Amino acid sequence: MYFDGDSIAAPATPAAESALAIIRVSGPLCKELSAVFSGKMSIEPRKAFYGAYRSLDGVLQDCCVFIPYPQGSSYTGESMLEICCHGNPIIVRSILDDLFRRGCRAAEPGEFTRRAFLNGRMDLTQAEAVQDLIAARSRASIDAAQRQLDGSVGRAVNSLLERLLNVIAYAEAYIDFPEEDLPPEDKDGPIAQLVSLQSDAKRLMATAPYSALLREGARTVIAGLPNAGKSSLLNALLGEERAIVSAEPGTTRDYIEERLIVGRHLLRIVDTAGLREGGGEIEDKGIEKSRQLIAHADIVILVIDGTAPPPCQELPVSLRELSARGLVIVAINKCDLPQEKPFDELLPGARLIRLSAITGEGLPELRDAVCDIIDSRYKAPGQDDVLVCARHAEALANMSDSIAQALDKMRRGEAAELAASDLRDALGSLEQIVGRVDSERVLDLVFSKFCIGK
Amino acid sequence: MTGTENNPYDVIVCGAGHAGCEAALAAARMGMRTLLISGNIDTIAKMSCNPSIGGQAKGHIVREIDALGGEMAVNTDTTAIQFRMLNESKGPAVQAPRAQCDKKAYQLRMKHTLELQPGLHLFQAIVSRLIYGTGCVRGVGTSIGAEFYAKTVIVTTGTFLRGLMHIGKNKTEGGRSGDFSAQTLSSSLKDAGIALDRLKTGTPARLLGSTIDFAVMEEQPGDAQPLLFAFYDTRGLPDDVFHVEQSPAMAAAERLLFHVEQGRGMRRPGWLPGMEQLSCWMTHTNARTREIIIENLHCSALYGGEIQGVGPRYCPSIEDKMVRFANHERHRLFLEPEGRGTDEWYVNGLSTSMPFDVQQKILHSVPGLENALMMRPAYAVEYDFAQPTQIHSWLETRQVEGLFFAGQINGTSGYEEAAGQGLVAGINAALKVRGEPHWVPARHESYIGVLIDDLVTKGTQEPYRMFTSRAEHRLLLNHNSAELRLGPHAARLGLLTPARAAAVLRKKAAVEDWSARFEQLAAPGGKLGDHIRKGGGLDAAPAEFLALSESAREEVLYRVRYRGYIDRELRHVSKLAGVERVSIPDTFDYATVPGLRNESRQKLIRHRPENLAQASRISGVSPADISLLIVALASRNT
């Protein structure tokens, strides 16, 4: 028997820059996905095909190689699809996001292997090979989880859990004890409690981007014309900062990514190929890539050669948008040389910093500006606020969805056990964070609140 | 002679309560040579506490017992004096039938059913010990000195294992008022390494009806059109072996003594339109009741420190309710008739372990009971049970091969919970004797499955009672679908007559067929399925559909109406189906699993789950832990 439930997706290669990245999808949706990306209804199994990955809204994400596997002869034993895209974490992320919108969900640690095992697709050597891997990975994630659960995230999520359990217990009391002398059932109270649960979950979820910023680093793109001094600026930043987390050699074709710590923030700095002044070369891949990077950036440092006239080409729309949100710094380089003229009008909303990548003048101001932007624009939470990670945010979003469905039924006065079933799903989402909750907890609450018994 | 060392029984059942009767009948119906031993065969299938069968979740279990060829449903239908469908304001999944029974008639019919069962021998003796072989059970020793040998033994001792009854400071040995207790069997179980613990339960006083003033109480009559528990109507069929003649519809004042008609080929009347039902009556405690209880709290066995066992929270004594819910002005009480041929009444809601004189004061403070005469006092009873984490899901003990436990010895409460386990124990004892793999209903196909899985994976700290909220797939477990969920299993196991087995499979096919056809048939404004889901009627339904049995029609409509929810539940179930099949050997060493959190490791060692699905249901065990287990098991098995 095969799982005929959900489809899962996850990157199969590490989240680093490389020539290629592979995303694996397993489950019933794979057939449909293969058809979408190949444009054909029937696909030859295990034969790679080349195609454009367009997201649901029609936007081209990357040109990929797809390998479909039929049920029964894949790693997991289910229908599978392997998507080989360019090894750019941003592309991988957007393809995954799109797969989630198409109905897949993020695979749990070891879930492909679990399915493979359950479907009888694994032998001893394979099992042993993945065992170490999973053990190592989950040890890390469990350590992380425990640290979170000991602290504020645990308290925040457990408080949501307690409140949800209370609503569930209240509803269950009226379902399970029709003969008891219970007070008249309050319909509005539970609805109000669920609504407030939703808004609190939303508040928690809103911290996920900042949390990702802390964990993964702020995606900082250095853009500008060729010879504006982008590379020297990057080198200057790296050279001055001793706390380099990792410096991966510029082996990638399109850009270089470096990690460094600035103040209390981790930056993932990307030096782009450059926004070339290429009249007519609209289709140029390099420009396209840079524009994509800018569109996904948390912060952009636009480097301008202060000794040259302002660039006359059209700046990418996304850059203007980021600038309007206060996320762009215009670094006017070569301030040690005679300046051309002011650049105040270049990008409304951007901060101007005059610096010299050669002498180091203005670099402290640049670093301060970067930190300031992260803290002010990405809502650095207050002392008492809680940061949730993306996995928690997903669970909280699922909980909110289930609660919305329950609310809908409660407001329309449908049979109580149907809303109860949605609330059970909501609880299941929280269980993804806090682990299994014993059904006895619900009964504990019922018996502590109501006088029940013959 | 059967039962000797050389010619053992296949199955011996110790105890003829609700668990023991179902266990013995199931085993015998599966062709086992079965001995049912009871300390007193006048108390077979005795309803020791309230006179009702069914109710929320319990009524579901009774219908499941019927689907599995058990006796409780038919026995209830034929001896009931009132039927009520509970929760009619809620949806069908959480509605449940309940009946008040004639206690004596219930016992007599069950006893006679046992007598008529081929291959079943009923015998009166007190089982004093178990006879063990190496790691297995071989039979039982009795108080009359006789020994009986068997391949398997099912222990269904109820509250009789070192039963101790409390009325105030007064203590009497016994499993039930007026009965003995099994004093030595406990130590025999301990000899085999089975750990025993204490639980407590209680029962209220019984009153003489002619001294009760019903005029000041609120009447709770039966339903005009009751639903019977049994799915398969044997009335008029040759396999209808027995019935208890109900009192005909007569004025209550002329209430006749019931009489028993027995013999093969007689019609089973069950409930028929126009047949008289008896009412229950509702009253309340008041401020005076509360004063009396609070003043005398120190006299209560429970509050005076006399009782060590843990009592059920859902069935608290009246003193417990007064203490825990001090702000409640009054507590509801029901007066329930114990039968047609008696004027004894059960006071539902007034369980207590107060001394006799205080009990009388309490009673007389209640409106309508000012002059009530007590016929039996309320009491609490403590008894031994074995923490059910010591048994496998097929109810065989982990320590002793061939030894099965069912009912209150596993820490449960309730006739229905006991009967469900008895049935499963009887089936599995028979399968063991046949050398076939064991069988246990799954959580998503029955409340009996939920019950057993909860017991063996989590154990229990109080007498365990079933609630619908314990079932995560509650929407799949509506009582009307019990026959379709479990009937095919029962047919395969040989628990049904060939005629009934065929009828079940026909019904299942028809329901599945019609549920699909509703999505194709045209109706005003779309397909018939959509029409029904929008609240439309059956005007467009074909005549063939309307010709189906009521139960089949109801089930089709349930499946059509709630299709979205049912599909979602089925998706949840299929997600688990894979892990359900991966068993964890009893000898599995959790210490060898790298990366497992210490807390999870200890829980897994304590609960010893049989498969990954059980492991995943243990509180605090995370999906990551399960992944680690999967890989550890994979490398071990290959």
CATH number of the domain enclosing B288: 2.40.30.260
Both B361 and B505 in one domain: the answer is no
Contact: A117, B458; criterion CB under 8 Å: no
**Of A149 and A256, the one with more pLDDT:** A256
- CB contact, 8 Å: A442 with chain B? yes
Report the pLDDT averaged over residues A78-101.
87
Residue A68 has pLDDT above 50, yes or no: yes
By the 10 Å C-beta count (0-12 exposed, 13-18 middle, 19+ buried), A174 is classed as buried
Q: How many CB atoms lie within 10 A of CB A261?
A: 14
Please name the member of B348, B622, B626 whose beta carbon is closest to the beta carbon of A454.
B348
pLDDT band at B111, cuts 50/70/90? very high
d(CA A210, CA A212): 5
Q: Is residue B542 part of a domain?
A: yes
Q: What sign results for the dihedral spanned by CA atoms A366, A372, A378, A384?
A: positive
% of chain B exceeding 70 in pLDDT: 91
Do B543 and B629 belong to one domain? no
Same domain as B349, residue B307: yes
SS3 B612: helix
Q: Is the pLDDT of residue B332 over 80?
A: yes
CA pair distance B169, B351, nearest whole angstrom:
16
Is pLDDT of A86 > 90? no
Subunit contact A3:B630, Cβ cutoff 8 A: no
What confidence category does residue A88 fall into, taking pLDDT thresholds of 50, 70 and 90?
confident
Whether residue B595 and residue A432 make contact (CB cut-off 8 A), yes or no, is: no
Residue B470 pLDDT: 92
**B322 in a domain, yes or no?**
yes
Q: B312 or A285: which carries more pLDDT confidence?
A: B312
Contacts of B621 in chain A (CB under 8 A): 435-436
Report how far residue B336's alpha carbon sits from residue B624's, in angstroms, rounded to the nearest whole number. Answer: 52
d(CA B173, CA B183): 9
Q: Tokens 């649960």 belong to which residue?
A: A197
- Of residues A427 and A218, more confidence is placed in A427
Mean pLDDT across chain A: 77
pLDDT at B623 (0 to 100): 64
Best residue of B631, B636, B637, B638 to probe chain A, by most A CBs closer than 10 Å: B631
Residue A246 to chain B, least CA–CA distance (Å): 28
Q: Are strands A218-224 and B332-337 parallel, antiparallel or unpaired?
A: unpaired
B214 and B355 together in one domain: yes
**How far away is chain A from the Cα of B315, in angstroms, using its nearest Cα?**
4
Of B469, B568, B633, the CB nearest to A175: B469
Give a yes or no: residue B311 inside a domain.
Answer: yes
| Residue A141 near chain B (CB below 8 Å) | yes
pLDDT band, residue B581 (cuts 50/70/90):
confident
Q: Is A413 on the interface with B (CB under 8 A)?
A: no
Identify all chain A residues contacting B628, using CB atoms and an 8 Å cutoff.
Answer: 110, 134-135, 138
Band (B572; pLDDT cuts 50, 70, 90): confident
- Report the pLDDT value the prediction gives residue B239, as an integer from 0 to 100: 47
- Model pTM? 0.78
What pLDDT score was predicted for residue B254?
40
Burial of B12 (0-12, 13-18, 19+ CB in 10 A): buried
Question: Is the pLDDT score of B207 beyond 80?
Answer: yes
Mean pLDDT across chain B: 88
- Residue B602 domain-assigned (yes or no): yes
In this prediction, residue A380 carries a pLDDT of 55
Confidence band of B471 (pLDDT split at 50, 70, 90) = very high
B338 and B204 in contact (C-beta within 8 Å)? no
Domain's final residue, options B328, B351, B379: B379
Q: Is some CB atom of chain B closer than 8 A to the CB atom of A113?
A: yes
Chain B: residue whose CA lies nearest to A446:
B314
The CA-based dihedral angle spanning residues A53, A58, A59, A60, taken in that order and rounded to the nearest 10 degrees: 30
Going by the DSSP 8-state scheme, the letter that residue B138 receives in this structure is: E
Model pLDDT, residue B248:
41
**Cα nearest neighbour of A405 on chain B:** B565
How large is the average pLDDT for residues A60-84? Answer: 90
Are B366 and B286 members of one domain?
Answer: yes
In a domain, B337, yes or no: yes
Q: Considering only CA atoms, which of A148, A293, A298, A129 is closest in space to residue A224?
A: A293
> What residues are paired with B202 via a beta bridge?
B380
Based on the fold, state whether residues B290 and B350 are members of the same structural domain. Answer: yes
Note whether A183 contacts B: Cβ–Cβ < 8 A. Answer: no
Q: Tell me what the mean pLDDT of segment A450-454 comes to.
A: 66
When comparing pLDDT for A286 and B11, which is higher? Answer: B11
What is the token pair recorded at A153?
Answer: 């995230």
Say if A139 is an interface residue toward chain B (CB within 8 Å).
Answer: yes
Which strands, in side-by-side order, build the sheet including A265-271? A244-247, A256-262, A265-271, A218-224, A299-305, A328-333, A351-354
Minimum distance, in Å, between the CA of residue A217 and any CA atom of chain B: 26
Section A321-336 average pLDDT: 85
Taking CB atoms and an 8 Å cutoff, what residues of chain A touch B85? none
The answer to whether residue B144 is domain-embedded is no
Contact B623 A417 (CB under 8 A): no
Distance between CA atoms of residues B61 and B46, nearest Å: 19
| Rounded Cα distance, B480 and B487, in Å | 12
Give pLDDT, residue B251.
37
Give the Å distances, CA to CA, from A21 to A11, A16, A86, A96, B549.
Answer: 7, 9, 6, 12, 60
| Cβ within 8 Å, pair B594-A131 | yes
Domain residue limits at B334 = 206-221+280-379
Q: Flag whether residue A135 sits within 8 Å of chain B, measured between CB atoms.
A: yes
Nearest to B47 by CA among B419, B388, B298: B419
Q: What percent of chain A has pLDDT over 90?
A: 20
A311 pLDDT band, cuts 50/70/90, is: low
Q: Is the Cβ–Cβ distance between B81 and B100 less than 8 Å?
A: yes
What average pLDDT does this structure show over B231-258? 46
Given a cut of 50, whether residue B432 has pLDDT beyond it is yes
Pairs across A and B, CB distance < 8 A? 185
Same domain, B502 and B631: no
pLDDT at B348 over 90: yes
Tell me: the pLDDT tens digits for A136-181?
443 434 444 444 444 567 778 888 999 999 999 999 999 998 888 8
- CB under 8 A, 24+ apart: contacts of A422-425: A423/A164, A423/A167, A423/A168, A423/A171, A424/A168, A424/B472, A425/A398
Q: Residue B191: in which H helix or E strand, if any?
A: helix B185-191
In a shared domain, residues B547 and B632: no
Task: Specify the number of domains making up chain B.
Answer: 3
Q: Least CB-CB distance to B87: which of A141, A145, A178?
A: A178
- pLDDT (0 to 100) of residue B274: 60
CA atoms within 13 A on the CB side of B547: 3
Look at B116-125, B280-289, B570-579, B628-637 and tell me which has the smallest mean pLDDT: B628-637
Hey, are the CB atoms on B574 and A117 less than 8 Å from each other?
A: no
- Tell me, yes or no, whether B250 lies in a domain: no
Rg for chain B, CA atoms, rounded: 25
Mean pLDDT (whole number) for B350-361: 94
Residue ending a domain, among B353, B379, B405, is: B379
Q: What average pLDDT does the segment B502-519 reach?
A: 95
The pLDDT assigned to A117 comes to 67
Q: How far is B574 from chain A (nearest CA, A)?
A: 6
Which amino acid appears at position B56 of this protein?
Q
Cβ of B595 and A136 within 8 Å? yes
Pairwise pLDDT comparison (B366 vs A121), residue with the higher score: B366
Cβ distance of B469 and A439 shorter than 8 Å: yes
Select the residue from A417, A429, A431, A433 to test the B interface by mutation, using most B Cβ atoms within 10 A: A417
Least confident interval from A252-256, A427-431, B215-219: A252-256
Question: Which chain A residues are within 8 Å of B623, Cβ to Cβ?
Answer: 108-109, 432
First-last CA distance in chain B: 48
Residues of A whose CB is below 8 A from B569: 421
| C-alpha pair distances (Å), B185 with each of A101, B180, B192 | 63, 13, 11
* Number of residues written out for chain B: 638
DSSP lists the bridge partners of residue B374 as: B207
Residue B239 lies in a domain: no
Q: What is the pLDDT of residues B46-87, one digit of tens each?
A: 999 999 999 999 999 999 999 999 999 999 988 899 999 999
Whether residues B284 and B375 share a domain: the answer is yes
Q: Is the pLDDT reported for residue A247 higher than 50?
A: no
Determine the Cα–Cα distance for residues B396 and A241; give it in Å rounded to an integer: 69
Q: Is the same domain home to B501 and B594?
A: no
Higher pLDDT, B418 or A208: B418
More confident residue, B374 or B245: B374
Residue B136 pLDDT > 70:
yes
pLDDT of residue B241 exceeding 50, the answer is no
Residues 6 or more apart from B192 whose CB is under 8 A from it?
A: B130, B132, B397, B399, B400, B403
What does the pLDDT read at residue B64? 98
Residues B161 and B410: beta-carbon distance below 8 Å: no
Lowest-pLDDT choice from B463-467, B475-479, B480-484, B576-580: B576-580
Give the pLDDT confidence score for residue A168 in this predicted structure.
94
A-chain residues within 8 Å CB-CB of B321?
A: 451, 453
Give the integer Cα–Cα distance in Å for A179 and A452: 9
Are B505 and B630 members of one domain? no
A109 → closest Cβ in B86, B468, B627: B627
- Residue A155's alpha-carbon distances to A148, A149, A161, A397, B624, in angstroms, are 9, 7, 10, 18, 21
- Both B538 and B609 in one domain: the answer is no
d(CA B42, CA B495): 27
Number of neighbours of residue B424 by Cβ within 10 angstroms = 31
**Residue where a domain stops, chosen among B363, B379, B395:** B379
